[in-house]
Amino acid sequence: MARYFDVHPKDPQPRSIGQAVQILRDGGLVAYPTDSCFALGCTLGNQEGRDRIVRIRKLDDKHNFTLMCRDFAQLGQLVFIDNKVFRAIKAATPGPYTFILPATSEVPRRLQQPKRKTVGVRISDHPVARALVAELGEPIMTSTLLLPGEDEPLTDGWQVKEELDHQVDAVIDSGEAGVDPTTVVDFSDGYPQVVRVGAGDPTPFEA
C-alpha cells in the first residue's frame, strides 16, 4: 500500500519531503506533481523502479526516459549541450518542457534511448518537484503518469493512490495537477524539433 503525503503546493513541508526522498533512496517508486502533470519517479540507479514504470505505462524501447534536474549544473552532467542549445533551453526553464539531447556517460545505458543514445532532461518550476530533487541531491528518473489507453494523465492525488496503490510506494499530493504533459523538444540533431505540444509554449522552438 502506497504512503500518502498531503503537502502544501507552494511551501511543501520539509518533513514530508524528507520522508518521500527516503522512500526513493530505499528503492521506491513515487508519484509526484510537476508543473505539467503528475509523474512517476525513482532514482537513476533503480533498475527495478525503471522496470516498474515500464510495466505501469506499458512503454516500448522507443521511449525517451526523462531525468528531472535541480538546475543547469546538474543537467550539464547528463547531456551534451552546446552554447546555442544552452541559451535556447535556459530561456525556457524552469518550466513545463522536456528536452531530448545526447546522453553523457553519467546516464545509465538502460535509461538511454537504445538506438539514438539520447535522454530527456527537464527542470520543473513546481515547488514539490524542486524540493524533491534538491533534497535527494541527484536527478530523479521520471515519466509522465499517463496510463495505457488514457488520453490524459491522472490529476488528483487520491485518484492516483486508488489507481496505483499497490504499484507505487508513495503518492505526494499538493492539490489538483495539470492535465497536459510537458512540451517535448528534440535537440539531438543540434536544432529544435517539437515532437509533442503540451503545457509549454512551443513557439520559441518552432522554425
Q: How far apart are CA 88 and CA 31, in angstroms?
A: 29
Write out pLDDT tens, residues 34-48: 999 999 999 999 999
Mean pLDDT computed over 100-127: 94
Residue in the block written with cell 515519466: 143
Tally the domains of the chain: 1
Q: Average pLDDT, whole number, for the chain?
A: 94
Mean pLDDT computed over 170-193: 93
Q: How far apart are CA 47 and CA 181, in angstroms?
A: 24
- What is the per-residue pLDDT for 63? 82
- What is the per-residue pLDDT for 29? 98
What is the CATH number for 177?
A: 3.90.870.10
39, β-bridge pairs: 32, 144
- What is the per-residue pLDDT for 131? 98
Residue 57 has pLDDT above 90, yes or no: yes
Residue 117 has pLDDT above 80, yes or no: yes
Q: How far apart are CA 122 and CA 143, in angstroms?
A: 11
- What is the per-residue pLDDT for 174? 95
Mean pLDDT computed over 5-26: 97
Amino acid at 26: D
Mean pLDDT computed over 121-142: 97
Write out pLDDT tens, residues 132-168: 999 999 999 999 999 998 888 888 899 999 999 999 9
- C-alpha grid cell for residue 65? 526516459
The domain of 111 spans 3-205
Q: How far apart are CA 87 and CA 108, in angstroms?
A: 26
- What is the per-residue pLDDT for 65? 87
- What is the per-residue pLDDT for 207? 65
Q: How far apart are CA 45 and CA 140, in angstroms?
A: 10
Q: Which of 41-45, 58-62, 91-95 has the lowest mean pLDDT?
A: 58-62
Residue 58 has pLDDT above 90, yes or no: yes
